[in-house]
Structure 1
Amino acid sequence: MGGVREVTSRICHRMRRHLWLIGCVMAHALSSSLLAEAARSHCDPGLQAAGARAIAYAERGDRCEGIYAQEVSGALRIVSFTRRSSNYRFSAERASLLRWPGVESGREVEVRASGLRRKLHYRMDTKRPSHPPAYTWPSDVLAQLELSRSEVGLLASTEQPVGEAMRRIVLPLDVTPTARPAEAAASASEYSVVLLCTLELQEVYVTLRALDVNGKPGRVLREGVGLDHGFYPAERPIVFRIPYSELDGGRMFSLSIGADLKNGEPRVVPEIVFLHAEPGR
């Protein structure tokens, strides 16, 4: 009789141990899942959502998008780097297709949209796998804000090795409505770069240089060339073009932007590196 009790006790002990182990594994899996979900957040922690508005900056499935509280900054920044394309009105029934040049598999591409309309503090942030080199962007929020393509800046970037160092690389975006044939992108012959500054500027200067495969500086294509727009009001987009013909078949380039405020004080945009290639290549 005692032997039976001993066997039964051992079985119960093993069952309790197995249940405890299973519980630990499940708890770890749940914890890992929650951590992974938190890590996948697309929202910029530096932005504050604009109150309880229905279209406030917040997680929306595969992206974070909406209106945020006003930033107070005198910084000059690049808010858009795209292949030049035609303008169109965003519609809730028609998404936009964003495509970028091909980069190494396994990389993460950060895509950011910024409102260019004065006093409209709109942003969209998403993190996409580098392959496939495209993102279908829902237009419901954009349609609610009654925005058109020319009123939204788009910037994509990734980190990849260049020579012996990791560098953040800007990937020029091709932007088309999904309902429109993508062949329209093939007619593009230049890049459109958009700057924004919260202060009025006196002049903006552009330096463009070719880089070799290791990121070493090569031929200077523009050096401190003024845009000569004449008038640069605060919070108004400053647009300039880079024709493909100017890049002369190269693949990697650096772009530096400098500016003088109306009072003569200088402003500088940190140098960026961008790839010159067809979407997906």
Structure 2
Amino acid sequence: MAMKHVFVLIFSIVSLAAINVNAQESICRKEIRPISSSDLAYKQRGDRCEGLFSQQVSATGMRIAAYHRHPASYDETSLALNISSGAIDTSKALTVTSLRPKQFYRMDASFSGNNYSLPLDVVRHPDVNVVPSDFAAVVCKENCDTSVPTLTPASFGAEDAFNPYIALVANLELFELRISIMADDTGEVLFDKEMLGNRTWPASRPATFPLKPYLENRDSITLEIVAVGRGNKQIDSISARLEHE
């Protein structure tokens, strides 16, 4: 198969560099284009950048939208959602998006420790209304903008269930999707499969991939994803190291 254009997608849509924030420096991603003329536009809001943006397509736009320890949950009375992940003494980059098709909500923040409290006023606004089943979080150690970022699973509230999964989303229709998983300690290939066969994957439709069989007895795995769209002319390749905790 001839590959005319190869793009390495390093979480350009869903990632956040680990940066030091001061009063003069914005934590907003420069490549994210806020919607115009709205108080809900993606912009700095205290210690985070949050709001609605206009979609931009790069190659297939394939992204890991979520890496969760268990599904997100929050009730109608909650003022904030605690997102926990990883060791206490590690700085992290957090991105939250919505899995609902054509709902272009995003939140970026950086934090130290193992917990970030996200106010839910924008999330719950009637013109946003990200429900728990559409809530998607990615937490990276230090920096997501590397060729192989290290992700730690996001956990929500007091629930301690261990059912880790990733959620994948592409902006364009896919004709091929290969997922490979390697054990970091031995290099063993645990999973390697082209997932679509003769089918296609519609644009913006999220798909979850369970990880418990691969992480239950391991500290970390390496995930590689190759997505092909538009007659083999649009290709994205993603690599990430996924930690157990």
TM-score bracket, shorter-length normalisation: 0.7 to 0.9
| Matched residue type, 1:270 | I
Question: Quick check: which one's helix share is greater?
Answer: 1
**Quick one: which of 225, 234, 240 aligns to 1:272?**
240
What does residue 67 of structure 2 align with? 81
Residue identity in the other structure for 1:59:
Q
Deviation at 1:171, TM superposition (A): 1.1
Deviation digits for residues 190-209 of structure 1 (CA, Å, limit 9, x no counterpart): 22211111111124221111
* Larger of the two Rg values belongs to structure: 1
Percent identity over the alignment is 25
Once the two structures are superposed, what CA deviation does each residue of 1:149-183 show, in whole Å capped at 9, x if it has no partner? 221221010238xxxxx96311111123xxxxx0x
Unpaired runs of 5+ residues, structure 1, are: 1-34, 161-165, 177-181
What stretches of structure 2 of length at least 5 have no aligned partner? 1-20
d(CA) in 2 for partners of 1:229 and 1:66? 38
Q: Could you tell me which amino acid in structure 2 is paired with residue 224 of structure 1?
A: K
**AA of the residue aligned to 1:197:** A
RMSD (Å), alpha carbons: 2.7
Structure-1 separation of matches of 2:191 and 2:81: 33
Look up the SS of the partner of 1:127 in the other structure. Answer: strand
Query: Which aligned segments of 4 or more residues in structure 1 are displaced greater than 4 angstroms?
Result: 86-89, 227-231
User: Cα distance, 1:142 vs. partner?
Assistant: 0.6
CA displacement at 1:265 relative to structure 2: 4.4
**How does 1:226-245 map onto structure 2 within 5 Å?**
226=195, 230-243=199-212, 245=213
Confirm or deny that 1:252 pairs with 2:220: yes
Please state how far the C-alpha of 1:86 moved relative to its aligned partner. Answer: 5.7
| CA distance in 2 between partners of 1:194 and 1:120 (Å) | 16
- Structure 1 counterpart of 2:123: 142
Whether contact under 8 Å (2:72, 2:156) holds in the other structure is no
Q: Is the 2:168–2:207 contact (alpha carbons within 8 Å) kept by the matching residues of 1?
A: yes
Which structure ranks higher in relative contact order (CA pairs < 8 Å, sequence separation ≥ 6)? 2
TM-score (norm 1): 0.70
Aligned counterparts, 1:135-214, within 5 A: 135-144=116-125, 145-159=128-142, 168-176=149-157, 182=158, 184=159, 186-188=160-162, 190-212=163-185
Residue 82 of structure 2 corresponds to 97
